[in-house]
Amino acid sequence: MSVLVFIDQSEGHVKKSSLEAMSYGARIAEQMGTEAHGAIFGSISEDLAALGKYGVRKIHHVNNGILNQFDAQVYTKVIAQVAEATGATVVVFSNNMDGKAIAPRLSARLKAGLVSGAVALPDTNSGFTVKKNVFSGKAYANISVSTPVKVISLNSNAYKITETGGTAEVIPFSASVDAPRIKVKSTVKASGEIPLTEAEIVVSAGRGLKGPENWGMVEELAKVLHAATACSRPVADAHWRPHNEHVGQTGFAIAPNLYIAIGISGAIQHLAGVNRSKVIVVINKDPEAPFFKAADYGIVGDAFEVVPKMTAAIKKIRG
């Protein structure tokens, strides 16, 4: 019996969301009196044994070049083999793009109950109950899972990365790997130093900035905060910013520790993608902007005056 954590990677580097998933899976294993194992696919450039400090005792590495290209169907079959070989009763994913593609498929293959978007540790006192977001983050639901195998995908920034020390035993895993049916013809990398879906701080702006030529002050604020940049849908549709920065119901759903919205009115579609943020700061010159109702802190003022002053103040504090 074990708790198996899918360790997601990009270009050989483990994603931050997977560190959260390992910490989460290790705590579940502790609750259940068993071990947490990890599964990672493809060519890896990091020290896998060092990942043991996040609580995983064994890491099963399927080092097959085919897996350097992500294909949800291929990955599902491989993770199912690892889960069955390790006797996993709980399989943990990050609730990111890859996790959302694999977890439901694995659930069907293993006839396992699935809880997507978990925000807390399962309650294992009497059964197995997992808390998750519902209705675009407006409410919570407690889902009871009774199947022998359970699949959970963890929302980003929902569980703190915890280092427990130690190293993991890295075990090569020989799996049957199908040829991918998807052929990648080209790859366009998203710009920005910090991936939007993994950022702890996000600075976002909307049509209130009046044009793409004014985005410099947003990028400068993001830089001093070590934050990612984002935008509302109208901004992306107008091609002021790339679509990979669009957050909202039809864009990326994010849950940073801090979300700063500049010149965004706060339509319900935008809120659906950001209302899981732990702290929301709104800057808008319209005191009736709907976003203020969802904000933890609000500044009524002209963004072209407020944002430069905020940036200068942060620079002064940080020396």
* CATH code of 278's domain: 3.40.50.1220
Please report whether residue 230 resides in a domain. yes
Backbone φ and ψ of 36, nearest 5°: -100, 130
Q: What is the pLDDT of residues 41-95, one digit of tens each?
A: 999 999 999 999 999 999 999 999 999 999 999 999 999 999 999 999 999 999 9
215 lies in the same domain as 156: no
What's the CATH number where 67 sits?
3.40.50.620
DSSP 8-state assignment for residue 42: S
Please report whether residue 177 resides in a domain. no
Strands 201-205 and 169-172: unpaired
151 lies in the same domain as 222: no
pLDDT at 177: 95
18 lies in the same domain as 150: yes
Residue 172 clears pLDDT 70, i.e. is over it? yes
Cα torsion 260, 266, 270, 273: sign: positive
257 lies in the same domain as 146: no
Euclidean distance between CA atoms 271 and 227, whole angstroms: 19
Structural domain of 55: 2-172
How many domains is the chain partitioned into structurally?
Answer: 2
Residue 11: CB atoms within 10 A of its CB come to: 10
Residue 137 clears pLDDT 80, i.e. is over it? no
Say if residue 185 is exposed, middle or buried (CB neighbours under 10 Å; 0-12, 13-18, 19+): exposed
pLDDT at 194: 78
Lowest mean pLDDT among 190-204, 251-265, 270-284: 190-204
Residue 191 clears pLDDT 70, i.e. is over it? no
157 lies in the same domain as 72: yes
Residue in the block written with tokens 């502790």: 30
137 lies in the same domain as 86: yes
